[in-house]
């Protein structure tokens, strides 16, 4: 299993994970559930009209935090925004109801992945695994 596949599996197992950004000098976190592994990249998406999208464009350094069982994962990196219709079509297949709502309201789904990623998987008292993606 590749490193990015390990991250994807951890997020699958966690179901909900937290996406951490900053708003000026204030940290902000919110739950996410959507991620899409395509090739060797793990993509995330959110509405371009949302505060989180504005925050990650102003400061692209972010962290994803997920908990699964007795372990948690920190995945940090620098956001790289992607505009790709083929990728959006895969999102439509994965989330038809949400994308239908976006289309109905004229909203745009902003897609991105993390560059220069670093991952720590930890138990409550120890480091289980650490790697770059």
Q: What's the pLDDT at 105?
A: 97
Give the pLDDT score at 99: 93
pLDDT at 34: 93
Domain residue spans in the chain? 3-132
The residue-averaged pLDDT of 12-35 equals: 96
CA distance 68 to 24: 30
Q: How confident is the model at residue 20 (pLDDT cuts 50, 70, 90)?
A: very high
Q: Are the CB atoms for 7 and 74 separated by under 8 Å? A: no
* CATH topology classification for 3-132: Pnp Oxidase; Chain A (2.30.110)
State the chain's mean pLDDT as an integer.
96
The structure's pTM equals: 0.94
Q: What confidence tens digit (pLDDT) does each residue in 69-92 have? A: 999 999 999 999 999 999 999 999
State the pLDDT at residue 72. Answer: 98
CA dihedral over 108, 47, 119, 6, signed as positive or negative: negative
Confidence band of 40 (pLDDT split at 50, 70, 90): very high
User: Is the Cα dihedral 94, 114, 40, 49 positive or negative?
Assistant: positive
pLDDT score at 29: 97
């Amino acid at each position: 299993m590749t490193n990015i596949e390990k991250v994807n599996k951890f997020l699958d197992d966690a179901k909900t994970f937290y996406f951490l950004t900053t708003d000026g000098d204030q940290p902000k976190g919110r739950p996410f559930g959507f991620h899409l592994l395509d090739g060797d990249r793990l993509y995330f998406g959110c509405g371009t009209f949302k505060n989180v999208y504005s925050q990650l464009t102003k400061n692209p350094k972010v962290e994803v935090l997920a908990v699964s069982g007795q372990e948690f994962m920190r995945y940090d990196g620098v956001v790289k925004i992607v505009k790709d219709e083929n990728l959006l079509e895969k999102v439509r297949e994965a989330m038809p109801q949400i994308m239908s709502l976006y289309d109905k309201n004229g909203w745009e789904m902003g897609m991105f992945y993390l560059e220069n990623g670093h991952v720590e998987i930890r138990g409550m008292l120890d480091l289980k695994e650490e790697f770059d993606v």
